[in-house]
Structure 1
Amino acid sequence: MLTILRGKSNSLALAFISGFADALFFIHLGGLFVGLVTGNVVLLGLGLVGHEKGGLRGLQIMSFPLFMVGAGLAAIMVAWIKPLERATFWTLIIAAVAFATSALLAIFDAGPVSACALLAVTAMGMLTAIERLDPRLGPPFSLMTGNIAGLAVAAVRRVIRYTEKPEEWGQSLTSIILVLGFVLGCAAGAVAQVTVGVAGMLLPALLLLLVGLFYSPQNTKKPG
């Protein structure tokens, strides 16, 4: 059990960070996801038909190219820096700096909150891309729809007393860990927004820095 948990530690931290940033900025700006691009598509569609929940259309539109810029930066790091572990390390560090910068801009009132949010969008693009480019970072932390489906499968298997094979148990545990991490991150981000505002982004910056400093490639021979 502990070995499996250690194997998911990077993804658990990244899921927490993703939930934290999404919740903080969504609440602070009244409707902007910095990591869940699909959510911005929905909100943008609502805005196009004049729905009251579809505001911030400019920011929502800008989130798409900036998320792609972040993903592109991660791809450049992997192409230019060898070995892959070093590229992953620097991608994580640069994303941490982007989070920290967004917090410092808010602390010193040196820029609009929208700039802080778009920095976070770029960082989340980097994190989402590096997880795809370096599978040894751990299982996908950003695919919450799939992870929640996996959580439902795990729950039903226990209700019907289905005996899971080792690889199936690993998949179930992965879903449980990542969904739990994301939900806890959302709760923490909401608390941070109420108490310290965007300055709370210092926490995910610190966590991401620790992930980078202690990163070691994880075996991905078996999914889950």
Structure 2
Amino acid sequence: MQRHTRSEILLASGLAWTAGYADAIGFLHLGGWFVSFMTGNSTRAGAAVANGSLTGFLQAFGLIAAFFLGVAGASVLRRLLSRHRRPAICLVSAAGLTAALLSTATPGTEGLLGPLLALAMGSLNAVFEREGEVSIGITYMTGTLVKLGQRAVAALFGEKDTGWGRYLLLWSALTVGSLCGGAAYFSLGMASLNPAIGALVIAAAASWGHPGHRHG
């Protein structure tokens, strides 16, 4: 993350907050399944097979597949667009959350909620991409915590400009987002997705004129 500007780190932190917020809502509504954290779903898929639960495996695999499609679809969009890539991906993710919200009010489409949420969250990971690789992971924080630990130790040993604060900010944003999402869900139910949709629209507007919107 050292190659990114402060404004980009703030944008990434805002998106991480949104990912944590939506993941908490999905986790609570779906009864313990993740829509942003596919490592958890992969573990649950394996545990479901070991427990002889085909339904559990299929549910986990469906979320993983939707997340994968979100990442792939957003990566295709990046390749097709020469400008405004970041705002476009934010708006696609917002559309996915909107579709998920609408599925809860449309009879017969309730089963689409989880996959649509996972699709929307997967797409966010293509916002920060350089040379075909993710430069900032938005919805997963294991690597961020590893780097935070390494950079914090480097700072303790006197190294300068380790950037540990950036990793701490990103992890904190997702964690606080999860707290906010959980609290909002218990107060508003699935209507609690509306602030996440609004946050993505704001992120799209904020990134529209950024220098990184062409290549970042």
Q: What TM-score range do you get, normalising by the shorter chain?
A: 0.7 to 0.9
Q: Give the AA of the match of 2:41.
A: N
C-alpha contact 1:8 1:138 (8 A) present in aligned 2: no
Deviation per residue, 1:124-159 (Å, 9 max, x gap): 121113323589x9733234112112333455567x
Q: Separation in 2 of the partners of 1:6 and 1:163?
A: 26
Q: Separation in 1 of the partners of 2:118 and 2:111?
A: 10
Unaligned runs of 5+ in 2: none
Corresponding residue of 1:184: 176
Deviation per residue, 1:173-209 (Å, 9 max, x gap): 1111011001001111111221222221111111111
Per the alignment, do residues 155 and 92 of structure 1 end up closer, same or farther by CA in structure 2, a change over 3 Å counting?
Answer: same
**1:101 deviation in Å?**
2.2
Which of these residues, 88, 91, 110, is aligned with residue 89 of structure 2?
Answer: 91
Q: Give the AA of the match of 1:57.
A: F
Deviation per residue, 1:41-62 (Å, 9 max, x gap): 101111112289x974322111
Per the alignment, do residues 122 and 7 of structure 1 end up closer, same or farther by CA in structure 2, a change over 3 Å counting?
Answer: closer
Which of these residues, 175, 178, 195, is aligned with residue 203 of structure 1?
Answer: 195
C-alpha contact 2:37 2:140 (8 A) present in aligned 1: no
Q: Give the AA of the match of 1:16.
A: W
Q: Separation in 1 of the partners of 2:189 and 2:21?
A: 12
Corresponding residue of 1:22: 23
Q: Give the AA of the match of 1:88.
A: R
Corresponding residue of 2:41: 40
Which of these residues, 117, 120, 124, is aligned with residue 120 of structure 1?
Answer: 117
Per the alignment, do residues 131 and 18 of structure 1 end up closer, same or farther by CA in structure 2, a change over 3 Å counting?
Answer: same
C-alpha contact 1:102 1:198 (8 A) present in aligned 2: no
Name the SS of the counterpart of 2:127 in structure 1: helix
Corresponding residue of 2:99: 101
Name the SS of the counterpart of 1:130 in structure 2: coil
Q: Give the AA of the match of 2:116.
A: L
What percent identity do the matched residue pairs reach? Answer: 22
Per the alignment, do residues 31 and 113 of structure 1 end up closer, same or farther by CA in structure 2, a change over 3 Å counting?
Answer: farther
Per the alignment, do residues 192 and 199 of structure 1 end up closer, same or farther by CA in structure 2, a change over 3 Å counting?
Answer: same
2:79 aligned with 1:79: yes
Per the alignment, do residues 55 and 18 of structure 1 end up closer, same or farther by CA in structure 2, a change over 3 Å counting?
Answer: farther
Unaligned runs of 5+ in 1: 220-224
Per the alignment, do residues 134 and 111 of structure 1 end up closer, same or farther by CA in structure 2, a change over 3 Å counting?
Answer: farther
| Corresponding residue pairs, total | 207
Q: Give the AA of the match of 2:100.
A: S
Say what the alpha-carbon RMSD is for the aligned residues: 2.8
Q: Give the AA of the match of 2:139.
A: S
Q: Separation in 1 of the partners of 2:7 and 2:28?
A: 32
Q: Separation in 2 of the partners of 1:134 and 1:92?
A: 20
What's the TM-score, normalizing by structure 1?
0.80
Q: Separation in 2 of the partners of 1:55 and 1:188?
A: 30
C-alpha contact 1:150 1:175 (8 A) present in aligned 2: yes
Per the alignment, do residues 19 and 97 of structure 1 end up closer, same or farther by CA in structure 2, a change over 3 Å counting?
Answer: same
**1:102 deviation in Å?**
1.4
